[in-house]
Structure 1
Amino acid sequence: MSSLKLRPPFRVEHVGSLIRPRELYDLRVLHQQGKCAPADLAAAEDAAVAHVVKLQRDLGLGTITDGEMRREVYFEGVFNKLEGMTDLPHRPMTEYKSYLPHVKLLTAMGFTEYPSYHCSGKIKRTVPFYVDHFKALKSIVAPEEVSRIKVNMCPPTWIHQRHGSDGTYDPAVYKSDDDYFDDLGIAYREEIKELYELGCRHIQLDDPTFCYFCNDETMEEMEGAGVDSGALLDTYIRAINVCTVDRPRDLNISLHMCRGNFNGGVYFTEGGYHRIAARVFTQVDVDTFYLEYDNERSGDFAPLRYLPLNKVAVLGIVTTKDPKLEHPEVLKARIHEAAEVIANGIPPRSKDVALNQLCISPQCGFASVWQGNPVTEEDEKQKFALLANVAKQVWH
């Protein structure tokens, strides 16, 4: 397990995806219609990345990403590149786990099939996931900024949480979940190693899986379907850990536990972290947790009492789903409330130590899918400016 320095130079973070500039948005629309040449789209992506890098610099954000400008959706770029994965563009909805909130939503919207993958052969990483994206981003930042670049990727649990043990892999290829996740972990570690050697020091896993265990209705239906939710949670904790094991000590790996951020900012699930906090905060081998705390469906700060001394929590206390600005005094009060919970947690610590384990951010990305949330780039800037102002007052 790596050791994170608990005095981050920046208190304002962001989750990863940013609003697409208008030119890129319009070209993506044309691309969807088959009316845009790939070279034209790629050029617009390059320009958009340069644009959002300047935006992040100007706002003084702690990390720099490419805003996921080269992706249509946040989880793109991993499973579609793995050897052993078969692309199923028309996978029937009956092969998805019906107790999952996003499956219910898609079914209610009239979907009878949805794109996915099936593991039909041994998993191997024969091509990189995001190495080319990192190199492109590295080429346009100053050398001293390279260590601030953050790479976002979907979690190893992504396909399994949709289809379970019976629908994720061919039993002739993998005899158990552990076997499947072990090979997947090797692929992730190879990617992490190559990114690190190129100078990457921050990798974030964007994972909606864990928050499904926070939803009372989902848990009831999961158990009703004969699924041992406790054992499955352990499986998913292990799936993360086999990807992050033996990483360099100065590589910060973070986990964003998301409740959904579909087209237009639609969320999928609700419920506080109390169901999972004791196990996830203490057993998942990452350095930082990005947590969504933008409204009442996110629950209270009580689960933070389980935050270990060597980990950081980034409180997503500003929403990306609504342009309305939160009140700065309310945000400051919430930060201090969270610090008090951590200070009186397991183990207890001083309020100053607890505050030093906190950063703040928007609750999720502004555009987890290319269409984005119901906010503008100007709204986005104002949200970040608000966070920066609050951070200066709290951590002066």
Structure 2
Amino acid sequence: MPCTSALHLRPPFRADHVGSLLRSSALYEKRHLFEKGKCSVEELKLAEDEAIRDVVDLQRKAGMKTITDGELRRSMFFEGVFENLEGMQYIPNREFALMTSRYIPHIEMMYDAGILEAESVYCNGKIRRAKPFHVDEFKFLKTLVAPEEVKFLKVTMCAPSWFHQRHGSDHTYDLSVYRNDDEYFDDIGQAYRAEIKELYYLGCRHIQIDDPTFCYFCNDRMIAQMEATGVDHEALLDTYIRAINICTAERPNDLTISVHMCRGNFRGGMHFTEGSYARIAAKLFRELDVDTYYLEYDTPRAGDFTPLKYLPLDKVVVLGLVTTKSPKLESMKGLKSRINEAVDVLCHGIPKRSRNIALRQLCVSPQCGFASVWQGNPLTEDDELRKLTLVTEIARQVWEDAC
């Protein structure tokens, strides 16, 4: 990092990216065949191995210090966790009629599109981490970097609330197994902590939790529908904060845990929700036990930077200013101006702080991944490289100039 902070912050590098990357044409075609049942798991894995080597090179070429495997082994960002938990029954085509949370923006959008079922899980037994989530992926990624670079590798995983927000308490778990949400999330948290412990033992020092749910609580329409149906959205938000805090408890001091608050990144980069962070910022910045927040700020849908005033002095925000939903390249001047706006808000925040300290609490990244689902967003690999290179260049100019 260009700067070191007297606040003992544990930020990612000033230029970062959220995690998922575009599939190469070769891997795209192989995955397409696999989805049609015309390609074996072994054949797909060989294509994934080669594509991951390429995306590691791409990230280096862009000047990125943080390296991920691009989530290239996943068809969707949330794969790898729930289907690997003992006590979870995988349901390939669960009817949305069994999902009580129709007010959830992406469920409502699917209903409107005539999609009435989706893959899901149901908890019918005590939850236990019977096998790893992403350990094997990390082990392979380690083989592609020098030993001294392992600490720069980042693992992404979906939030513990992912399926619960779809189904609600009544349809997420068997009430004879778990009496309430606290019991359910207690055991999920234990499973996450076991995964985090093993990843740390293998050398991982940055784990990112991808959570679309928090931004749903910024959506005025969803909040109104919840209130109309008698759902206590404040209590539910508290439940989801607690769920992550169980996962991150007792972590080592040199392990950075971040959360990315996504607004939707489905096929073609489709978004699901909008609304200012103002409704949730104070609570999330003060109560969520993570080190870093990746916030999407690429469009006016996210509102202005005013909610950043609640950021404590010991946490970091990564400003997602560069969009992954369009190939159009943002201007350097415009990005610098927006970073300065965020700095101004922090300077007058609660508590107030100097510009130097405020700048040290910020980083920059694309607003989301380039391919949260395997089909990816409407960009080419060249577009992706230009976007990532822009992020590293803006970070170099802003933070190296400041130091």
Q: Is the counterpart of residue 81 in structure 1 residue 84 in structure 2?
A: yes
Q: Is the counterpart of residue 117 in structure 1 residue 111 in structure 2?
A: no
Shift of 1:7: 7.1
Residue in structure 1 matching 2:62, options 56, 59, 63: 59
Shift of 1:391: 1.4
Q: Is the counterpart of residue 280 in structure 1 residue 280 in structure 2?
A: no
- Cα deviations by residue, 1:327-373 (Å, 9 ceiling, x for unpaired): 11010000011011011111111011000011000000000000000
Q: Aligned with 2:267: secondary structure?
A: coil
Q: Is the counterpart of residue 44 in structure 1 residue 47 in structure 2?
A: yes
% of aligned pairs identical? 62
Residue in structure 2 matching 1:290, options 294, 311, 321: 294
Q: Aligned with 2:320: secondary structure?
A: strand
TM-score, normalised with respect to structure 1? 0.98
1:308: which partner in 2? 312
- Cα deviations by residue, 1:35-74 (Å, 9 ceiling, x for unpaired): 1122111100000110011111121213110000111010
- Cα deviations by residue, 1:254-279 (Å, 9 ceiling, x for unpaired): 00000000011000000110000000
Return structure 1 stretches of 4+ with deviation > 2 angstroms.
Answer: 3-10
Does the 8 A contact of 2:10 with 2:291 survive in 1? Answer: no
Q: Is the counterpart of residue 141 in structure 1 residue 145 in structure 2?
A: yes
1:69: which partner in 2? 72
Alignment RMSD: 1.2
Whole-Å separation in 2 of the counterparts to 1:388 and 1:60: 6
2:176: which partner in 1? 172
How many pairs are equivalent?
394
Q: Aligned with 1:174: secondary structure?
A: coil
Taking a change above 3 Å as real, the CA distance of residues 23 and 187 of structure 1, as seen in their structure-2 partners, is: same
Does the 8 A contact of 1:4 with 1:250 survive in 2? Answer: no
Q: Is the counterpart of residue 388 in structure 1 residue 392 in structure 2?
A: yes
Shift of 1:5: 4.0
- Cα deviations by residue, 1:273-298 (Å, 9 ceiling, x for unpaired): 00000000110000000000001001
Q: Is the counterpart of residue 233 in structure 1 residue 240 in structure 2?
A: no
**1:11 alignment partner AA:** R
Whole-Å separation in 1 of the counterparts to 2:22 and 2:93: 29
Whole-Å separation in 1 of the counterparts to 2:17 and 2:76: 17
1:249: which partner in 2? 253
Shift of 1:6: 3.0
TM-score, normalised with respect to structure 2? 0.96
Return 5+ residue gaps in structure 1 as ranges. Answer: none
Taking a change above 3 Å as real, the CA distance of residues 71 and 393 of structure 1, as seen in their structure-2 partners, is: same
Q: Is the counterpart of residue 185 in structure 1 residue 186 in structure 2?
A: no
Return 5+ residue gaps in structure 2 as ranges. Answer: 1-5
Q: Aligned with 1:264: secondary structure?
A: helix
Taking a change above 3 Å as real, the CA distance of residues 154 and 4 of structure 1, as seen in their structure-2 partners, is: farther
Does the 8 A contact of 2:11 with 2:292 survive in 1? Answer: no
Whole-Å separation in 1 of the counterparts to 2:314 and 2:256: 12
- Cα deviations by residue, 1:313-333 (Å, 9 ceiling, x for unpaired): 000000000000111101000
Does the 8 A contact of 1:4 with 1:311 survive in 2? Answer: no
1:352: which partner in 2? 356
Residue in structure 1 matching 2:94, options 57, 75, 91: 91
- Cα deviations by residue, 1:195-221 (Å, 9 ceiling, x for unpaired): 000000000000000000000000000
Q: Aligned with 1:111: secondary structure?
A: coil
Taking a change above 3 Å as real, the CA distance of residues 4 and 53 of structure 1, as seen in their structure-2 partners, is: farther
- Cα deviations by residue, 1:102-134 (Å, 9 ceiling, x for unpaired): 011111121122111111100000100011001
Shift of 1:252: 0.2
Whole-Å separation in 2 of the counterparts to 1:10 and 1:248: 19
2:3: which partner in 1? none
**1:15 alignment partner AA:** V
Whole-Å separation in 1 of the counterparts to 2:40 and 2:167: 35
Does the 8 A contact of 1:201 with 1:250 survive in 2? Answer: yes
**2:63 alignment partner AA:** G
**1:36 alignment partner AA:** C
Does the 8 A contact of 2:11 with 2:291 survive in 1? Answer: no
